[in-house]
């Protein structure tokens, strides 16, 4: 049975005091737009210097860096797929982002982490499908990673927050043991 709590919130991911935040990075890991740029700006120049040593990252893979000036101790960088219509392995690649980020977190004793909505910005992955893949993959992966205690889905927009919250309600996660 999964013991981790799953939460949805609308917030700036760079302000969250969790063990790690996940960066929806590009393959260079050298910063970019959207959440990637915001994380690099908030973490400071040291993050860019460290990322230069990582040699980039393939789509679906995940790499770890210190959080530097962020409230989070670590940043888990993952590269989501660019949407090309859905028949080029994009759903499987997106699922791999979440799975690999959680496995990397478990390897480094990271107990709480926050995910943005990966690939739904400039990579144009359809938001509804991306949210379903994110939640399903996190639930499946957490069953094998009992040390992870808390996963946040950090949404940029109210529409995204509502989408994730509705899906989590349907999945009936975090159901209280003794409903009142």
Give the catalytic positions in this structure. 36
3-state helix, strand, coil in the chain (%, to 5): 40, 20, 45
**For residue 176, what are its two tokens?**
């209280």
If one counts every other C-beta atom within 10 angstroms of the C-beta of residue 9, the result is 14
Helix (H) or strand (E) holding 62: strand 62-66
Helix axes 158-171, 127-142, angle to 10 degrees: 50
């Amino acid at each position: 049975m999964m013991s981790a709590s799953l939460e949805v919130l609308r917030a700036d991911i760079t302000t969250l005091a969790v063990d790690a935040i996940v960066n929806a990075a590009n393959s260079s890991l050298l910063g970019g737009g959207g959440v990637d740029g915001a994380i690099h700006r908030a973490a400071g120049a040291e993050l860019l210097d460290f990322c230069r040593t990582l040699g980039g990252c393939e789509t679906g893979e995940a790499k770890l860096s210190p959080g530097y000036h962020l409230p989070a101790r670590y940043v888990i960088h993952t590269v989501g797929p660019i949407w090309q219509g859905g028949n080029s392995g994009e759903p499987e690649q997106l699922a791999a982002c979440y799975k690999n980020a959680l496995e990397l977190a478990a390897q480094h004793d990271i107990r709480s982490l926050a995910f943005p909505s990966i690939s739904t910005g400039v990579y144009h992955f359809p938001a509804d499908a991306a949210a379903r893949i994110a939640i399903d993959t996190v639930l499946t992966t957490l069953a094998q990673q009992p040390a992870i205690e808390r996963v946040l889905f950090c949404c940029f927009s109210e529409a995204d927050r509502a989408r994730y919250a509705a899906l989590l309600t349907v999945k009936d996660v975090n159901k209280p043991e003794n409903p009142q």
